[in-house]
Amino acid sequence: MIKKTNKIKIALIGYGKMGQEIDALCRDSENFEVVSISYRKITDAIDIKGISEADVAIDFTSKDVVLKNIEEVAKLGKNIVIGTTGWYGDTEKVKKIVDKYKIGLLYSPNFSVGVNIYFKIIDFTAKLFAKLPEYDVYGLEIHHKAKLDSPSGTALKIASLIKGLNFNSIRAGSNPGFHEVVFDSPADGITLSHQAYNRTGFAKGALVAAEFIKNKKGVHSFEDLFSS
């Protein structure tokens, strides 16, 4: 007999570094349980039956497959959290899918709470510096060598907050995510940086997002949770 619980049922799509991190958190959680895992390997098929039994799907795969995944999940009428980055040029297409199937979708380039506070600090600081032409602004981001997209989704989000900002991107080593913005003048400079120490913060944030989107419709952003 299947044991009934009140836990939120999660379908993981993608079982790489992030999928496994979320799975580990759910195993110790009183609030979430994983009921389906798609793509343990890239060659596997998506687990349609498992997803149809879940409350929310969470996608951490790649830009090459994320749109297809969104459509498959939407056809089942299930809500979805998207952690995958690199697809933001297709945002309008995704909005159409969400509207057509009347589901809820929440996405973010970065599910760390600290980074979402960091976005707010940068936005505030950029507005102060906008009237001071003697300050140049530049950005640097560093991620582990397996990260495929460059610049990172987080860097693109920061660049959308600061006119004229370009990021230099480094892909090497094992850093889970470092972003730095520098406002620099001949007289002084201010450096704002964020360092993720591991992937736990992203995984926790993705589960907070799953709970948030569970009974909602339409496209939402993780930042919506931090509006003051």
Ligand X SMILES: NC(=O)c1ccc[n+]([C@@H]2O[C@H](COP(=O)([O-])OP(=O)(O)OC[C@H]3O[C@@H](n4cnc5c(N)ncnc54)[C@H](OP(=O)(O)O)[C@@H]3O)[C@@H](O)[C@H]2O)c1
Using the minimum distance from each CB to ligand X, give the nearer residue, 125 or 150: 150
Catalytic one of 9, 78, 147, 179: 147
Using a 10 angstrom Cβ sphere, with 0-12 exposed, 13-18 middle and 19 or more buried, the burial of residue 1 is exposed
Residue from 60, 118, 167, 212 that binds ligand X (CB under 6 A)? 60
Strands of 136-143's sheet, edge to edge?
167-171, 136-143, 178-184, 189-195
Residue from 36, 79, 110, 116 that binds ligand X (CB under 6 A)? 110
Count of residues that bind ligand X according to CB under 6 A: 25
User: Which residue carries 């799907």 as its tokens?
Assistant: 57
Residue 130 as a binder of ligand X (CB under 6 A): the answer is: no
Residue 79 as a binder of ligand X (CB under 6 A): the answer is: no
Nearest distance, CB of residue 126 and ligand X, angstroms = 22
CA angle 152, 108, 102 (to 5 degrees): 135
Using the minimum distance from each CB to ligand X, give the nearer residue, 35 or 65: 65
Nearest distance, CB of residue 43 and ligand X, angstroms = 7
Catalytic one of 9, 78, 143, 157: 143
Look up 147 and say whether it is catalytic.
yes
Cα separation, 58 vs 205, in Å, equals 11
SS3 150: coil
Check if the beta carbon of residue 109 is closer than 8 Å to that of residue 157: yes
Residue 119 as a binder of ligand X (CB under 6 A): the answer is: no
Closest CA relative to residue 34, chosen from 62, 73, 1, 7: 7
Subset of residues 145 to 164 that bind ligand X, contact rule: CB under 6 A: 147, 149
Nearest distance, CB of residue 73 and ligand X, angstroms = 14
Residue 50 as a binder of ligand X (CB under 6 A): the answer is: no
Nearest distance, CB of residue 166 and ligand X, angstroms = 19
Nearest distance, CB of residue 98 and ligand X, angstroms = 18
Check if the beta carbon of residue 45 is closer than 8 Å to that of residue 21: no
Cα separation, 218 vs 212, in Å, equals 12
Residue from 10, 32, 73, 108 that binds ligand X (CB under 6 A)? 108
Q: Omega into 133 within 30° of 0, i.e. cis?
A: no
Residue 212 as a binder of ligand X (CB under 6 A): the answer is: no
Using the minimum distance from each CB to ligand X, give the nearer residue, 42 or 121: 42
Give Cα 9 to chain centroid, integer Å: 19
Q: Which residues are catalytic?
A: 143, 147
